[in-house]
Amino acid sequence: MDLTVEKRDSKQKAKSFRDKGVLPAVIYGRKEESTPIAINRKAFEKVFKAAGESTVLTLKGLGQDKQALIQEVEYDAVSGEPLHADFYAIEKGQRVTVSVPLQFIGTAPAVKDKGGILVKVIHELEIECEPKDLPQAISVDVSNLVELDSQIKIKDLGIPAALKLNIDTDEVVAMIDVAKDEPVEAPPVDISAIEISEERGKKAEDEVAGAEAGGKGAVSAAKAAAPAGPSSSGGKAEAKKEEKKK
């Protein structure tokens, strides 16, 4: 994939290039002197969208074609437009180490038919290889995930021998998980309601106790106010007087 660039004056402000639709950039490498360059912004965006950071590009316009990788892109935080790009020049015969994205394709039967959850454990792999062998992405076919305990490991991806991996090939790339029922939590207790309820109960108890005390007092007062009846000794004396009269 080709991209046309040109050298730029590093003393000229980067903003002046951006105002003209030109992206300021720089190219450097292990044996490549850092060189300021300029690129048509729209052309760069088109190539970057197709190539990403893991595709070797051929930069034209510097006298001699140079193979390079897009090392880093700086973006405007508000507009999202690219502000600056770094290119890493690759020497002939030099092996490169690049993080290649994984592209998940297909539909997992364990998800579609059995209600499982697809878990993507790894999203990119660090690859070492010659520039000509560098893939833009590595495909992961999840249609092989048939059962709820199915897994796809790195060794299942069929990675070519020309690509050297710096990771254990038994590492899991994708797997199926089962949704677990979450325990039902009891609703939170309203402490203020409990306190109000306790206060009301206490008040009711106090009212009942007051009523009982008032009742006892009324009975005692009634007894005290009632006239005293004739005593038993007084009654006998009156009876004897009546007998003598007879």
- Per the structure, the complete domain to which residue 33 belongs is given by 2-92
What's the mean pLDDT in 146-162?
Answer: 95
Confidence check: pLDDT of 199 > 80 = no
22-29 β-sheet, strand order: 2-4, 57-60, 66-75, 82-89, 22-29, 35-40, 6-7
Q: Which of 159, 177, 195 is the endpoint of a domain?
A: 177
- The more confidently predicted of residues 52 and 143 is 143
Is 207 within the bounds of a domain? Answer: no
Is 82 within the bounds of a domain? Answer: yes
- What is the predicted pLDDT for the residue at 4? 94
pLDDT in tens, 173-189: 999 998 776 666 666 66
**Residue 120 · residue 84 · CB < 8 Å:** no
Confidence check: pLDDT of 54 > 70 = yes
CA angle, residues 214, 219, 222, in degrees to nearest 5 = 125
Is 246 within the bounds of a domain? Answer: no
What's the mean pLDDT in 116-127?
Answer: 95
- What is the predicted pLDDT for the residue at 245? 47
- The more confidently predicted of residues 198 and 112 is 112
For strands 22-29 and 82-89, give the pairing.
parallel
We report the CATH number of the domain holding residue 107 as: 2.170.120.20
Specify whether 101 is located in the same domain as 56: no
- What is the predicted pLDDT for the residue at 175? 97
